Structure 1
Amino acid sequence: MATTSAKPELDRRNAARARALDTPAARLILANPLPFVVMRVSRSSSDDRYRIDYISESCQAVWGLSRAQIGDNLRQLWTRIHPDDVSHLNDRLRAAERGNHEWTATFRIRGSVNGREKWAVARGLPRPDLPGDAWNITVTDITAQIQAYADLQASEARFRALAENIPGAVFRYRLRVDGTHQIFDMTPGSIAIWELPAEEIQNDPTPIWQMIHPEDVPPMLESIDESARTLQPWHYMWRLTTPSGQFKWLEGRGLPRREENGDTVWHSVIIDVTTQRKKDEEIRRLAERDELTGLANRSLLRRRLDEALRQRLADGGRGALILLDLDHFKDINDTLGHDAGDIFLRATAERLTESLCHQDIVARIGGDEFVAVLPQVADEEAILATVGRIAARLGDEVHMEGHALSSSVSMGIVLFPRDGQTPNTLLKHADIALFEAKAAGRQTHVFFSPALRETRERRHRLAEALRTAIAADALSIAFQPIVAAGSSNHRGFEALARWTLDGQPISPAEFIPLAEETGLAVPLGKVLMARALRLAVRLAATGIDPGTISVNVSAAQLREPDFAATVAAMLAEHGLPPERLEIEVTETVIFGRSAERIALTLRELRKLGIRIALDDFGTGYASLAHLKRIQVDRLKIDQSFMRDVETDAEDAVIVRAVIGLAKALGMDVVAEGIETHEQLAFLRRHGCDLAQGYLFGRPTTSETDLVSYLNAAEHE
């Protein structure tokens, strides 16, 4: 029975095994019966021992144990290895672990029933992309081949009969003391390997050496010399191209014996492992490549980025990493479906690759996030040239099913090693720069700087503090008067959010967008709405009518299906008539994403008797058709148009046009930011209904000041 302390580790192992089995690589292996055992092992964090993450069903045939008997216990397999082979196997494993490189070893497996031994060869491949020093291991039963070697020594004829039925080519290879060599006693399997008969190879082995890939010849000769010197078993894998043009991977093994004259003779076997190698490469591809686009995935990106980073640290050069995000890609998925989104992502991957040089690295690390690594760049101008090519190419339309789709791209850029000396740091800083590019309106690029990191850290601190403040109802509401432009008589208030942190006021221009970015807009809006209604009720209780209370709401609130019902319940709770409440929304909220859902919510609010005001009118992209569809009650002219209305002819034209438009559509007009009598006079001349600004009163959270203001306004 597992102890309490061992249970978390067991759960972790089980979870790791489940994840390992539920991957394309594992399914590829386990779905195809193989003539060898495939397994993955990794080091346990609790006792630093290796355990089995998964093992194929063929373990019964090779090891004589079922998967249930083995479980995750590597010792179950280790105890089956012949004691005389343990030391040699240990040496191979330690050397491979120190160098983190591929290892092979030949050993015997003891039988459990009839005592018969099997010969096996194992190969291990490191998996640096997985935690826990993971290894992929294959164990192949080569008893038939080894038996053939033994039979050769006992009976040449018997060996010949067996060898001719063994896949591959079995032969003897002699390396003479003078450096010359000889191949003899080769089986007919040579035809399947080299497309040459054994007699021809034995007479002149030159052609089979010429078939070997040039890069593989020197290390192959070194492996033979090493085996001859140490009399250790020979093993090597190499590439070749046959006379018919077939590309193959071959694996050779041999047992050396020193003869009295000093020559070294190997009893050898060479087999075609092309199919197995392709499976290995497919497994590696699945582990390193994004399944949708074929680009490098996050794991391969980190490894390649680490290599580039080390090179630049060594030579003093610099490289660049560009983190890209497709602007509003979600709209494609939402409107045309995920199949169309996948087509668009594949097209993006192709075009991004085309925009870069062959030595550059391209990866997809998220839904619509891509990374381009420029391992070596001359200067910032070269980076900007690449950025320009990317933006231009990705901006081209993608045509599918009668639709012409396009997307702009936002980019965050870091230089290395200047902006970070680890892949994690570079990706983190690139994400900070990308965030700023999006905040700047998207469709642009931003280079990382330490100031951006400080801004991100401040934003993170503020987000946590804001979350706490909302939960504690620690924000406040300020009311600013709205008056009749013609008489300056009081008509209502706009409720404005206020927040003080550690004695310092935080600007709404900072914490309102922060709330929207961090998912706090809905709870923040609910808290502020409740405070505004409570303050309005208390002011009304003094016997003076506070007028219409105008409250700003966010897109996130309007997307909530039950928002209208929530507002109705809050009005009933505070005893405030619906016609006393006005909901303010901006153009970007009404005509942005989820416009239909928001329009429906606004219609539900109007049915309750709540007024709708369109704030900052003229700064967005509202049209007459939009205004008719939304049925807005009031337009608010943004203060940017009022600031220079007396001196700027264009501003004056815009303000007069908005006033005329509102009157034609039966809407009220409020001009914001009125600070001078000249601005007020302009509004009166042109028939503006309402005005708001410092000329009539600053926003205040003081209930006493508000009561004083209302008393004074009533007696004017």
Structure 2
Amino acid sequence: MMDFPAFLASGFGPEADLLPCGLVLTDAEGTILAVNATLLRWLSQPAAAVIGECSFVQLLAPPGQVYWKTHLWPQLRLQGHIDEVTLPLPDGAGGLRHCLLSAQISGEGGHIGFVLVDAGRQYLRDQEQARSGVIAQLRARWLAQIERMAGVGAFALDPETGEIEASDRVFEMLGLVPAVGLTLDQMLERFVSAKVRTAIRADLARLARTQEPLAQEAVLATPTGELRRVQLQAEGEWLGGQMVRIAGVLNDVTQFHEDQQRLWQAANIDELTGLANRRLFHRRLQTALEGGPFALVLLDLDDFNAVNDMLGADAADELLRDVAVRLAGLVGAAGVAARLGGDEFALLLPAADADAAAERLTREAQAAMAQPFEIAATRLTACIGLATFPADATDAEGLLRCARQALSEVKSVRPGSAAFLRGPLRARFDARRTAVAFVQEAARDGRIRAWYQPKVRLDSHRIVGYEALARILTPEGTISTPELWGAALEDVDCARLVDGNVLDAVLADLKRDAPRLVRVGVNFSEASLRGMDFAEQILALISARGLSPQLLELEVVETVLLGQRADVLAQGFKRLRAQGMRIALDDFGTGFASLSHLRDLPIDRIKLDKSFVLGLSGDHRNGAILRAILDLAAVLGLETVAEGVETDKAAVYLRGLGCLEGQGFRFGPAQPFEALPPPGAKL
């Protein structure tokens, strides 16, 4: 039972006003009878505006009011007390002060006592200012209850005898039974660290000489082995130039410290794996730059999405945790292992020979991934990008960029690859970066063009349509082909730029003279087909020009069909075909399309890769492959177009195999729209 002292109209009195916590006393209905100065200062309100004028619930912020009325008030009436519940309290600055609320109904008169403790750092500073008030009311029963709720205990030390008078809360924190005869030695022996015990004795001696207050934070252990983190603060009381006693407080900050640790963990540690997260890794990387050479290794697990789909999310998470354990063991306490996100990890290790350390980490990481994991005996591979300080860069951003660019390059080579961004790899990256810049500039300047290569009937050599091919007009006025900037198409944004600009150019030319073009095949990269609504976007562009989808043929290469998006593509293709557009599978026979794609996807025709046609005279097996593909297409009811037709002999041979259409230099190279022959021309 909380027994508050007699109160005045303006509050509890001067002793309570020194406390670092807010005090409220209400009647049984919650009407405020008394508040201390601390709470009034938080509210920026005079006592007259609060006492007798409002209820306790009116002090709270709106969310707190709802929670009080629906949960806490019924709980208080039922149980008679509430222990340390967080509620928001409006402050005078217009913000919110989050407080720990404890309350208890008195047995006499039904009065309700409330204690509100500021959960923020200001609470600790207020506590320092209020030590003397706590000590002055050491033996009062109501103050003892407040001490227990606020986690603060007071004591007085006789500097001559070493004897201590302490509140029950101090004994509770020390794990001792409240008793007369507590000494400084008994208190100090509860502190775990001998270094801290020595420091406290030194601080007490200095206090006697200099009057400098004592402040220490340390861990103590109760006789039962329970560990608590406490703050010890003390200052002297002087009389006639002599220190007559030392007054102090012991504050249990265990919960506060644990909360801070949890916040730090949440901000700096990857929740799934326990490794450093991206934020902490960047800080450790920045710190490492202040020292000597070190190795930086970025790892990206190969095709982990497929592993996730096969094993399920829970098993995949367990697998990532196992990966984290193996990687952390490679760098030990001297280095840093981090999960940057998804299936991407990073290792940092200081070493005099940073290059050798990076290469060693790479070998060990690859070996660690190759060892079967407990989850379904899974083996993994990872692509790895390496960089070292100071050889590759002298700042954090530069090092990460080098390692990421190296990782990006090796991912396009093969699974399990690793490299520095140096030598040929650097040259390849620089070449692609130059190509990307070239394409982006051309797109900004409107210099991406559509040129047209004719498709002809092999029996009559009559033009039946065209394939639109991307060309770029250089600032000097010459035409540039993909042989010079094709590397830029590995960049998804550039691929979309080229696809979009070519489609716009084709639609403009169709608007000018659709009969001349008959039907135009337009290439679409995987990047342009990634969206769920790609079909609607294409149809909207066609409709905006007032054209029919029947004038267009969508051409995709086999690699677009890989992965888990076949169903999405099928739905989009069906939508386009329903509007009259045709679908062609380009470069057939050299990619990774399976026969099930020919069976399941709504495809109208297949285009035979030119490597088979160009190789007819050099390898008889090419003829056999072409015959097999053409027979299969005939059975499935698919039209065929042969690419790379450069001679009459090849055209006759293909016609004999049943191929109806062809394109290649025999019938002419790609040309601008203005140079195309009239409709129905023969080549």
On whether the aligned pair clears a TM of 0.5, the verdict is yes
* CA displacement, residues 536-580 of structure 1 (integer Å, 9 cap, x when unaligned): 676676xxx6554322223455556473685498389576782x5
CA RMSD of aligned residues (A): 4.8
- 1:382 aligned partner: 360
User: In the alignment, is residue 246 of structure 1 matched against residue 226 of structure 2?
Assistant: yes
- 1:612 aligned partner: 583
User: In the alignment, is residue 60 of structure 1 matched against residue 12 of structure 2?
Assistant: no
- 2:153 aligned partner: 168
State the distance in 1 between where 2:95 and 2:391 align.
45
User: In the alignment, is residue 707 of structure 1 matched against residue 682 of structure 2?
Assistant: no
- 1:600 aligned partner: 571
- 1:475 aligned partner: 448
Letter in 1 for 2:328: L
SS at match of 1:496: strand
SS at match of 1:355: helix
- Uncovered stretches (5+) of structure 1, i.e. residues with no partner: 1-33, 38-57, 75-119, 125-135, 153-157, 176-181
State the distance in 1 between where 2:484 and 2:510 align.
26
Answer whether contact 2:307 2:316 (CA < 8 A) is retained. Answer: no
Answer whether contact 2:383 2:418 (CA < 8 A) is retained. Answer: yes
- 2:392 aligned partner: 419
* CA displacement, residues 142-196 of structure 1 (integer Å, 9 cap, x when unaligned): 66641355689xxxxx799989996536141648xxxxxx621343645423335
- 2:261 aligned partner: 281
Deviation at 1:674, TM superposition (A): 3.8
Letter in 2 for 1:388: Q
Deviation at 1:229, TM superposition (A): 4.9
User: In the alignment, is residue 235 of structure 1 matched against residue 215 of structure 2?
Assistant: yes
Answer whether contact 1:353 1:362 (CA < 8 A) is retained. Answer: no
Structure 1 residues 162 and 662: CA distance shift in structure 2, 3 A: closer
TM-score by length of 2: 0.68
Counterparts of 1:259-270 in structure 2, within 5 Å, are 266-270=246-250
* CA displacement, residues 283-334 of structure 1 (integer Å, 9 cap, x when unaligned): 332333345555433332222222333233xxxx32224153674749969x
- 2:92 aligned partner: 69
- 1:553 aligned partner: 524
Answer whether contact 1:484 1:689 (CA < 8 A) is retained. Answer: yes
Counterparts of 1:237-636 in structure 2, within 5 Å, are 237-256=217-236, 266-291=246-271, 294-312=274-292, 317-322=293-298, 324=300, 327=303, 329=305, 341=313, 344-345=316-317, 347-357=319-329, 358-359=332-333, 360-366=335-341, 369-376=344-351, 378-389=356-367, 391-392=369-370, 409-440=382-413, 444-449=417-422, 451=427, 454=430, 458=434, 461-462=437-438, 464-469=440-445, 472=446, 474-485=447-458, 490-503=463-476, 507-508=481-482, 517-519=491-493, 524-535=498-509, 548-555=519-526, 557-558=528-529, 559=531, 561=533, 563=535, 566-567=538-539, 570=542, 578=550, 581-636=552-607
Match 1:183 to one of 159, 162, 169: 162
Answer whether contact 1:323 1:370 (CA < 8 A) is retained. Answer: yes
- 2:105 aligned partner: none
Letter in 1 for 2:398: T
User: In the alignment, is residue 141 of structure 1 matched against residue 127 of structure 2?
Assistant: yes
Deviation at 1:585, TM superposition (A): 1.4
For structure 1, which segment, 216-225 or 231-240, has the greater mean C-alpha deviation from structure 2 after superposition? 216-225
SS at match of 2:290: helix
State the distance in 2 between where 1:409 and 1:533 align.
44
State the distance in 1 between where 2:537 and 2:140 align.
89
Letter in 2 for 1:494: E
Answer whether contact 1:672 1:692 (CA < 8 A) is retained. Answer: yes
Answer whether contact 1:59 1:65 (CA < 8 A) is retained. Answer: no
State the distance in 1 between where 2:389 and 2:479 align.
38
Answer whether contact 2:154 2:167 (CA < 8 A) is retained. Answer: yes
Deviation at 1:610, TM superposition (A): 3.3
* CA displacement, residues 14-60 of structure 1 (integer Å, 9 cap, x when unaligned): xxxxxxxxxxxxxxxxxxxx9769xxxxxxxxxxxxxxxxxxxx973
Answer whether contact 2:558 2:593 (CA < 8 A) is retained. Answer: yes
State the distance in 1 between where 2:166 and 2:571 align.
82
Number of aligned residue pairs: give it. Answer: 572
Structure 1 residues 209 and 346: CA distance shift in structure 2, 3 A: same
Letter in 2 for 1:353: V
- 1:79 aligned partner: none
- 1:12 aligned partner: none
Letter in 2 for 1:351: V
Structure 1 residues 165 and 218: CA distance shift in structure 2, 3 A: same
State the distance in 2 between where 1:656 and 1:209 align.
93
TM-score by length of 1: 0.65
Deviation at 1:637, TM superposition (A): 2.0
Answer whether contact 1:533 1:576 (CA < 8 A) is retained. Answer: no
Answer whether contact 2:191 2:197 (CA < 8 A) is retained. Answer: no
SS at match of 1:320: strand
For structure 1, which segment, 603-612 or 161-170, has the greater mean C-alpha deviation from structure 2 after superposition? 161-170
Answer whether contact 2:443 2:497 (CA < 8 A) is retained. Answer: no
Structure 1 residues 408 and 617: CA distance shift in structure 2, 3 A: farther
State the distance in 1 between where 2:221 and 2:456 align.
89
